[in-house]
Structure 1
Amino acid sequence: MQVEFSAIEVPGEANPLSEASLHHVLRSASSSDTTQIRSGTLQLEQWQSAKSFFPMLQSVYLNRNLPREVRHLALIQFSNGIDKCWRRTTSSSAVDKEDKEIVRSRLLQADSLSEPDQRLAFQYAIIVAKIARVLYPNEWPDLFKDLLHIIRATAQSEPLVFSRSLLILLRIIKELSTARLARSKTALQAMAPEILAVVGQLYVEKVQSWHSSLAAGGNDTGAVQGLDSGLLAIKTLRRLLIHGFEDPHREKQVQDFWTTAQSLFAETFLPIIQHQDAPLSPEARKLVEQHIRQLSKLFATMAAGKPVAFVILPNSLPFVLNWWNLAVQLADTWISMTEPVDGDPKGSVIEHLILKALQTVRSCLRMIFYPIKSLKFQQAEDKEDKANALAAVRSHMLVDTLLQEMVGNLLQKFFLFREVDRVLWETEPDEWERNEEIEEGWEFLIRPCAEKLFLDLVKNCREVVIEPLLTVFHQIAAPTNENIQLKDALYNAVGIAADVLTDKLDFDSFLRNTLTVEVNLQNPGYKVIRRRIAVVISQWAPVKMDASSWPLVYEIFQHLLDPSDALNDQVVRLTAGRKFAQVMDCWEARTEDFVPYSGTILQRLSGLIQEIDSLDTQLALLATLTQIVGHLGPYLTPFARDLVMFLSPFWGAAGDEWAMKTQILVLLTAIIGAIQSESCDFHADCLGLVLDALSSDEDGRIAIHEDAMILWDAVVEQMPSPPHQSPGVFFELAAIFPTVIKRYPDQPYPWGIAEKYLLLSPETILKDEVRHPLLETVGSYMEMMHHDVVHSRCQLMSAMISAGERIGGEPGVRAIAQDLMSTNCLPVLMHALHGSWEWKHEASALRTMPKHAVAGRDETEYLSLLARLVMASPTVFLETLCPSFREKFELDWLLDEWFEHVSDGIEFPADDKLMALALTRLLETGAPFILGRLQDLMTMWTSVLGRLVDETALGADSLYWTEAQHHEPDVPESAGERRAREKTYADPIHAINLVTFIKAHLDVAPQLAGGQDAFNGEWLARVESVVLKEFTEVLTRCMGPQ
């Protein structure tokens, strides 16, 4: 019986590596059977550290008798192994040195460089480059010499080997140029002149040979291969010139090639592109276009990355100006295009030429407009080069007439609404509108790049270009002018330059007298202007707009969103909907002005969202709705129900589109926050969505979980008391607190929401089935010492103690305290405090704080929690932490630490007072452990009273509020804010007068100690007279006149 090898998973030791077994496993891992893929992949991972694994993988690739998919998988495994193992030298997975040498020795052999399959050759070149990054120059010093020798030797005789060698050289240069280690870049720069000499010469020879053949009327079919390999050469040279030379403008070789490259670009390739009837095959024409792309990338990249070098290199600025003129000439062809691209996903070569020309011009001008300050030390020669470059740009490009011509051409050529825009507007409106919003489109698209160049010119040459611009604008910007293309371009210009034109253009008059008229015109094609009106208003609204103009703005957007108007097609309405968010985000936008238009705009936006299928656009419009809701506040109430009902179907339809669900949660949170107490009818629906969102535990759901918690918090904040009015899902959500806290222990929301539950419905949290799992979760994070987590968990435990006292008295507190012990909360807390005490009392001069100890604010949090327990019930506190406290008190170390912490002074007065109250209340026990601490108590009282009692308001501490000081807020408050305010008023920190509290407990203490004589003789006598005198004086002074 035959058993398929790959179907059996065995440890690597049981299946030793051999050529046959490797072939078998690679076949299995490249099959379509899932089981075989899994077992094969596992076996390959186990072999990765085996000797000879990488040489065998290399042999598999070199064996062209094996199936292509097997060889391809061998390359993938090889590539992954380099990333994991080749840089390591000591670990068990490090590649054996002998194996590395075997692999390296075969990388540039003839059979390695003659792979006919392009995709396999490309993957192999990547592998060689990765190895070169690790081994060059220390372990592979002759890499470039060997590779250049092969390139020279095969340039004429072996085109395939020549092409594959160039491909490897290209990948190596790309790999070394991106290396983080300076060593790699330095090694590349050392060889750059020799590489340029060899590859540059071969490139020129290949191109000239082809061009000579073409000029002689020969057939270009045989020369295509030369153009193809020449394309690899120019790609290599492009990266070499940028990354291989620190100062390329100072290298004679670079200067010579730069001049040649300009000549090839302008005199060899461009004439062919400009004359479509040139006798070229489609394949050759495509290669010519690719050469032009590479050369234009070279010029544009040099100008952007090394602008000083670019300007100083021979003939660069005249070349740029000629290129700009060429772009202006080509613009007519670009404007009239009816197809998005010429069958090329990167766009037509004409588009590429124009785009790179604009980018290069912009890079040169930005040297003047926005000089870059380098942290690198500049030699005198560097400073001189920079000064010369700036002077050259000023003399060649900062010429008034040229700048004005540039602005004019930008508006009349590159800002224009094109024929292809019209076609896409009609056929794919949603996609066209969305593409217009791409923020970084200037890197890939002509119009956005032209807009960036225009803005640079207007900002930095305003004295020269603004007046001519406004002159043309006033001529064109009239309702009677029907030149839609130019009008759209000019409106675009004044929108882009809004912050520059604020003192030059009266936009409010333009809005009233022109835009208001044009937005109502029904002329065919005027929808382009309608769209532009929405854009230009959104650009001016944040900059400058009179208060009287805002109602008109709202009226215009209400009109643009009207689907019954035929000119308000989908693009117009989508643009208006998207841009309205920017309008509503302005400080000057007054809610009262917007209210009359709000209902209609909300309705039309909701309808628009239902029309479209694009998720990105739907999200943008939902964001607009969110902006409107936040702006309306309580004025949203009449429309809230319709808005929530509109959102409900989207949640179910969203499925796994978590971005949509996240935006829905954000919008619902805004609705709840806007209408506050009027949102009760929607609480059940909102909490149902919260439960659904939080029930998903898939990876990558952090965003939706966070937004779900924010909505949950907002709903609980607005829920009215008593709790029996709350929806059932409110109680279901309480049960998942442990899960949510485990998932996000460092997030404030789950802890804070649990606290709000304890105020709204303490019974819900204090049920056994909720309370105990919740405290178990808290206990599991007690050792997480991040302060935010420490604060959150202590606040929650304190709130549970207070809630237990409030609804269950001492038995309730006892139940909470027992759970705090059984769930490890209090044991870990006490262990941390004991560690702090031990550290402070350690005699060694080399003492270090134990990891489990606490200090500073965290220690205050822990002691404040204990203080809350004491204030709830001193008896429960002692029974829990020291059950035998009357016979043998074992917490003297805790009192030492506690008194010392308070005496040192606490950052927050509230904690200061709380601890003083708690330690004072321990006197109620009448136990020796606290009576023996009278001196510590008096020292603490003296210190705390001195900090908390104001000399101008004697008789009470500054944190004590009488009922007369309990004020209703001046502004409306939420139900949660009211509960929090009432809790604050009832808190012992504000409800108890510390001065009278101390006096009362001192009055009672003698009775608990067996009488005044016994108290004086046994306990008060132990207090030093100085301490007693100082305390008596402070207390008497704080009591004030009696």
Structure 2
Amino acid sequence: MKYKSKMCVRCGAHPHSRDTGPSRAVLSIHWCSPGVRFLMDLNSASNVVIQVLTQASSQDSTVLKPAAEQLKQWEAQTGFYTVLLNIFTNHSLDVNVRWLAVLYFKNGIDRYWRRVAPNALSEGEKSALRAGLITNFNEPVNQIATQIAVLIAKVARLDCPKQWPELIPTLIESVKVEDDLRQHRALLTLYHVTKTLSSKRLAADRKLFQDLASEIYNFACCLWNHHADTFLQQICAGAEPAALSSLERAALSLKVLRKLTVHGFVEPLLNTETMGFLYAVFDRLRQFLECSRGIGVEHVCRERMEKIIILFTKVLLDFLDQHPFPFIPLIQRALEFAVSYVFTEAGDGIMFERFIVQCMRLIKMIVKNDSFKPSKKFEDSKPETINAHQIKMSFFTYPTLTEICRRLVTHYFLLGEEERTMWEEDPESFAVEESGGDSWKYSLRPCSEVLFIDIFHEYSQTLTPVLLDMVHTLQGPTPLEDLNALLIKETVYNAVGLAAYELFDSVDFDEWFKRQLLGELQITHERYKLLRRRVIWLIGQWVSVKFKADLRPPLYEVILGLLQDQDLVVRIETATTLKLAVDDFEFRTEQFLPYLESTFGLLFQLLQQVTECDTKMQVLHVLSCVIERVNLQIRPYVGCLVQYLPLLWKQSEEHNMLRCAILTTLVHLVKGLGGDSQNVYPFLLPVIQLSTDVSQPPHIYLLEDGLELWLVTLENCISVTPELLRIFQNMTALLELNSENLRVCIKIINAYIFSASPEFLQMYGASICQSFLQLLKDITMEGQVQVLKVVENVLMVNPDVGPQIFHALLPPVLRGILDGERYPVIMSTYLGVLGRVLLQNQGCFSSLLNQMSQECNQEVDQILGNVIEMWVDRMDNITQPERRKLSALAVISLLPSINSIIQDKFCGIINICVESLHDVMTEDPETNTYKDCLLMSDNEPQETQVNENDEPPTEQDKRKRMIALRDPVHSVSLQHFVYDKLKTQQELLGDDGFRSLMETVDTEITKQLQEFLQRF
């Protein structure tokens, strides 16, 4: 029989339950009771939490989840973090329990340490915790020690120095002790505290960090020098364990100095200690590099030595980035150091890739830094800038630049054995190796190429003859048996491609293409693939720089051949060059059409042959570009791709970026197929459904491209199918997101309105209206205009049903007009919406006036008068001729009328009409008549395309034209409409009454009106 007891009414715990399973056994003492605040002693509370932390580190989810929930309930309770501190500082406990304890403590700082946070820790508890955190720096486990250091840094960010003035002095005293472990942990903590405090950017915080830097900088320098000297002595003496320990301390103290130096001084140039340290960095770098020469790759200190060497270079790079002018005295030494190690024999035997990259970055930053470049008016430049420029000019002499250029090209551009092996064993990875973004900062080949581009750009007059000389020596075919000659030629061609823009006036590329490059592409030998790949890449670099149009057919011939090359890397590179050629401004469709079928087929074969996700994406982008540029001409050739894409979509279920590429391809495919795209709906529509369904996890990656595909599909559909109509169920949730995709969502709604208005409005009109009501409350002015334009389109396409469905949106529009909406664009849109109602559904307009009359407790006529008055006053807000004509048609449609208010406002109505007549009427000198330029006729041919590259009209363009033909703005002559309305008003009032009415109009306006109405 189970022992029963009452549950705690505050937290639901069973204080004495003995048979509640492992996940509840820990609740014998519960945190909601006063005992937690602390009637129980610390040890008892610690035992309770240790049990839960033990369960929370379990691999069994049935044990872990309840424990995690319990910890979550406790984390806001008083005393919880004191218990956690007690646990993770108890070295006798299990490491996993202590690890979890420190993580929970660290995460709690973000949530509960600030005074304004909900359930914030009390000042008393925080004070006790701060004292406990720096009592002992003797944590034996490295990972936990690091977490404690980060934890202390998080507290320091919030409390140091005001609430925690003793932190830095305590750390410095602890760093001075003889105990190795305590010294290391204190130094580790000092680094994380310094790093965190240096990242604060408010002016007051930066001032505090600068004060800290000035106080401890000398100590930090001495500490660093001591540990660096100790390491060098110990490594020479062969005391490896001790040397490793000293090296670790030297690295940590250098990390502290890096933050202090870069962020701790407003004018570091005036601080002798700072500049002294920076000069010393070069000496220390040489010492450590020479030391590394004497120890083997397998030495226990080798890896950490390389890390500290890189850390030295980071100090220089960071200082140059943040303080370019104070770096000027260091330019000469920095260039001498970097160039000597990277471009002379001085670096032989001690260089490693990451260090070479860092040195190249240092040279690049000095060469490219805008602070070191004088303005066009040399004399207007700052003295410091002129000084830096002169230092650079004196260093970068002709011999130095020549040596840098030649070594970059013939040494660092050279394809190494490892890369050639990768070409053979993993050609796809080799072909699509990442080279964009910031990869140049970490990889040798991209870094050397970026440095070459920058130096060549800066010193092109000097280096152009050097590079052309290298090209000249390589003319003619290269012996197949001479691998080194093939490799050198490959690097020179690489350089010519990278410097294409700089060589524009110096290289006759068209002649070179015909005389040399075409021939090299015909050499099919296996070893010559190095040059086939590089030459086709080179042509891709030049095709948008300098390449005659009449050479494109020979280029397409070459591309066709290379897409059938036996080497996959060559085929992939050729596809990339094809994209560059097709995507160029000079591309002409008629030149490419003879090659389209074969090229497209070969690209499709390549897409099937490659297996890696990145490669498939790359080839898909090429296919997309081809489809986009040839447009409708692609239709006969896409059958194979249409059949393959569903399989590729299924295979890419775990690769969302590949699916994005497929979506992009589908966008261009649908545009190319136009109305024929309906044949691919069985695959296309489920793809759109998945990509735009916010309840499906992949939408995070696919939504943007999925929305574009949805829109393009609607624009090109002949008619909206039931399946396409059903997808709109996704739209309500998308509108609720109110994200940057709102503009596309609005376009999609408009496309449905133009495509299938009656069925669409019947199914979704009410939900759209509700979504719009919510949206209008919290979107930008531009967003409001876009939403209201949808309403206007509904009223234009379906003037009978539209006002009923969107009736809830009309009163706010009318209120906005009556209140004198101050934003002209929104007022113009309001008047457009109301103009549609007034012109095309006067029954709805009357109903709207009656509703507003009841709301405002005013007469209907008074509201009508205010509307007309506001319309006249804000007519200038309306800028588009179509909207201005709509306003004129709307207000004149109030005639004929005997309503006194309308007659009172007659002058304003005529003013609007005359203004609009001036906007839309054009004079025909031959017939001496006026013609409404906005009128459209079904017999008139549609506008011809401006040029062959313009996209043909979509199905939606055709639908919009048909709708426009029915729209009064484009189907009713304003001149005739005004004449008819005035004539019927005259018949209603009689000649005398009408004459009296016209006398209320300004004489000049009357003359202009007569001018328009007499010349039909």
* TM class, shorter-length: 0.7 to 0.9
SS at match of 2:534: helix
**Does residue 898 of structure 2 align to residue 896 of structure 1?**
no
CA shift in 2, pair 1:742/1:785, >3 Å:
closer
Structure 2 match to 1:794 = 788
Question: How far apart are the structure 2 equivalents of 1:441 and 1:785?
Answer: 39
Indicate if the aligned counterparts of 1:430 and 1:612 stay in contact, CA closer than 8 A: yes
1:586-644 deviation digits (Å, cap 9, x = unpaired) = 11222222222222222222222223332222222211111111121232122122222
Shift of 1:312: 1.8
Matched, 1:58 2:82: no
Asked whether 1:937 is paired with 2:906, we answer yes
Question: Within 2, Cα distance between the matches of 1:688 and 1:17?
Answer: 58
Change beyond 3 A, Cα 1:819–1:503: closer
Q: Which moved more, 1:218-227 or 1:350-359?
A: 218-227
Q: 2:843 aligns with which of 851, 875, 887?
A: 875
Residue pair 1:17, 1:47 contacting (<8 A) in 2 also: no
CA, structure 1 residues 292+898, in 2 after alignment: closer, same or farther (shift >3 Å)?
same
Counterpart pick for 1:519 among 501, 518, 521: 521
1:461-540 to structure 2, matched below 5 A, reads 461-481=459-479, 482=482, 483-540=485-542
Shift of 1:702: 5.5
Q: Structure 1 residues 666 and 281, CA, compared in 2 at 3 Å: closer, same or farther?
A: closer
Q: How does 1:325-474 map to 2 (within 5 A)?
A: 325-328=340-343, 350-367=352-369, 371=373, 387-395=386-394, 397-474=395-472
**How many angstroms does 1:679 deviate by?**
4.2
How far residue 308 of structure 1 moved from its aligned partner, in angstroms, is: 4.2
1:270 aligned onto 2:285? no
Contact preservation (8 Å) 2:486, 2:530: yes
For residues 786 and 611 of structure 1, the distance between their equivalents in structure 2, rounded to whole angstroms, comes to 49
Whole-Å Cα distance in 2 between the matches of residues 880 and 1028 of structure 1?
32
Measure how far apart 1:196 and its partner are: 3.8
Deviates more, 1:824-833 or 1:623-632: 824-833
Aligned pair in 2 of structure 1 residues 352, 184: CA closer, same or farther (>3 Å)?
same
- Of 916, 919, 922, which residue of structure 1 is paired with 2:894? 922
**Conservation of the 8 A alpha-carbon contact between 1:956 and 1:996:** no
- Kept in 2, the 8 Å contact 1:658–1:704? The answer is yes
Match 1:129 to one of 148, 153, 158: 153
Structure 1 residues without counterparts, runs of 5 or longer: 335-347, 374-379, 806-812, 838-852
Deviations 1:229-253 (A, max 9, x none): 2232233333333333444444333
Correspondence for 1:999: 979
Residues 273 and 151 from structure 1, CA distance in 2 versus in 1: closer, same or farther, beyond 3 angstroms? same
After TM superposition, give the deviation of residue 934 of structure 1 in Å. Answer: 1.1
Equivalent position of 2:747 in the other structure:
752
Distance, in Å, in 2 between the alignment partners of 1:468 and 1:1032 is: 80
Q: Kindly provide the CA deviation profile for residues 56-81 of structure 1, in whole angstroms up to 9, marking residues without a partner as x.
A: 33222212233322322222222222
**Could you say which residue in structure 1 is the equivalent of 2:805?**
819
Counterpart residue number, 2:313 = 296
Residues 322 and 1026 (structure 1 numbering): CA distance in 2 closer, same or farther, change over 3 Å?
A: closer
CA distance in 2, matches of 1:179, 1:385: 29
TM-score, normalised on structure 1?
A: 0.84
Q: Aligned pairs, how many? A: 965
How far is the alpha carbon of 1:956 from its aligned partner?
5.7
Q: In the alignment, is the contact (CA less than 8 A) between 2:888 and 2:916 conserved in 1?
A: no
> Structure 1 pair 305/556, CA: closer, same or farther in 2 (3 Å)?
farther
Q: For each residue in 1:350-397, what CA deviation from the matched residue of structure 2 results, as whole angstroms up to 9, or x when unmatched?
A: 112222222222233334896399xxxxxx9x96655544433333x2
Distance across 2 between alignment mates of 1:368 and 1:969 = 50
Match of 2:245 among 217, 225, 232: 225
The aligned residue for residue 345 of structure 1 is none
Deviation of 1:410 after TM superposition, in Å, equals 1.2
Amino acid at match of 1:516: L
Contact 2:372 2:388 in 1 (8 A): no
Taking the aligned partners of 2:728 and 2:151, their CA distance within structure 1 comes to: 55
Residue 33 of structure 1, CA deviation: 4.7
CA distance in 1, matches of 2:232, 2:841: 98
Asked whether the equivalents of residues 199 and 233 of structure 1 are also in contact (C-alpha less than 8 Å), the reply is yes
Distance of 1:504 and 1:998 partners within structure 2: 69
Deviation at 1:38, TM superposition (A): 4.7
Look up the match of 2:125.
99
Q: 1:855 to 1:308 in 2, by over 3 A?
A: closer
Q: Which amino acid aligns with 2:443?
A: L
Instruction: Give the letter aligned to residue 520 of structure 2.
Output: E
- Once the two structures are superposed, what CA deviation does each residue of 1:870-899 show, in whole Å capped at 9, x if it has no partner? 32232343246538999x963632441243
- Match of residue 69 from structure 1: 96
The residue aligned with 2:261 is 241
Residue type of the partner of 1:870? L
Following superposition, the deviation at residue 445 of structure 1 comes to 1.4
Match of 1:1039?
Answer: 1013
SS at match of 1:922: coil
Q: After TM superposition, give the deviation of residue 162 of structure 1 in Å.
A: 0.7
1:856 aligned partner? 824
Q: How big is the shift at 1:648?
A: 2.3
Pairwise mapping of residues 251-290 of structure 1 onto structure 2 (< 5 A)? 251-267=271-287, 269-276=288-295, 282-290=299-307
Rounded Cα–Cα distance in structure 2 between residues aligned with 1:183 and 1:932: 66
Deviation at 1:502, TM superposition (A): 1.1
Per the alignment, residue 881 of structure 2 pairs with 909
Show CA shifts across 1:945-1004 (max 9, x none): 144235846876745527499443223533322222232232111222333323323443
Sort the Cα spacing of 1:251 and 1:931 in 2 relative to 1 into closer, same or farther, 3 A: closer
Equivalents in 1 of 2:730, 2:328: separation in Å? 65
- 1:71 partner letter: R
For residue 573 of structure 2, what is the aligned residue in structure 1?
575
Distance 1:270 1:64 in 2: 39
For 2:264, give the aligned amino acid. G
CA distance in 2: counterparts of 1:463 and 1:751, whole angstroms: 54
SS for the counterpart of 2:107 is helix
Residue 337 of structure 1 corresponds to which residue in structure 2? none
Cα shift at 1:936: 0.6
SS of structure 2 residue aligned to 1:273:
helix
The aligned counterpart of 2:709 is: 711
Of 673, 684, 687 in structure 2, the residue corresponding to residue 686 of structure 1 is 684
CA distance in 1, matches of 2:754, 2:680: 21
In structure 2, how many angstroms separate the alpha carbons of the residues matched to 1:876 and 1:224?
Answer: 87
Alignment partner of 1:765 is 2:760: yes
Structure 2 residue corresponding to 1:829, chosen from 806, 810, 813? 813
Partner residue, 2:6: none
Identity, in percent, stands at 23
* Distance in structure 2 (CA, Å) of the matches to 1:97 and 1:901: 63
Please give the per-residue CA displacement for 1:380-429, whole angstroms capped at 9, x wherever unaligned: 9x96655544433333x221111111111111211111111112222222
Distance 1:415 1:1031, change over 3 A: closer
Equivalent pair of 1:798/1:865 in contact (CA under 8 Å): yes
CA distance in 2, matches of 1:855, 1:1002: 33
Deviates more, 1:605-614 or 1:697-706: 697-706
In structure 2, what is the equivalent of residue 176 of structure 1? 197
Contact map agreement 1:717 1:976 (CA 8 A) in 2: yes
Q: 1:1027 aligns with which of 987, 995, 1001?
A: 1001
CA contact (8 A) 1:779 1:825 kept: yes
1:160 corresponds, among 162, 167, 181, to 181
Is residue 175–residue 187 contact of structure 2 (8 Å, CA) maintained in 1?
yes
Gaps of 5+ in 2: 1-17, 946-951
User: Offset of 1:1034 from its aligned partner?
Assistant: 4.4
Residues 27 and 70 in structure 1, CA contact (< 8 A), matched pair in contact too: yes
Q: 1:957 to 1:947 in 2, by over 3 A?
A: farther
- Given that 1:782 and 1:829 are in contact with CA atoms closer than 8 Å, whether structure 2 keeps it comes out as no
Question: Contact 1:684–1:727 at 8 Å: present in 2 too?
Answer: no
Which one is further off, 203-212 or 931-940?
Answer: 203-212
Q: Which amino acid aligns with 2:447?
A: C
TM-score normalised by the chain length of structure 2: 0.86
Cα pair 1:955 1:995 within 8 Å, conserved: no
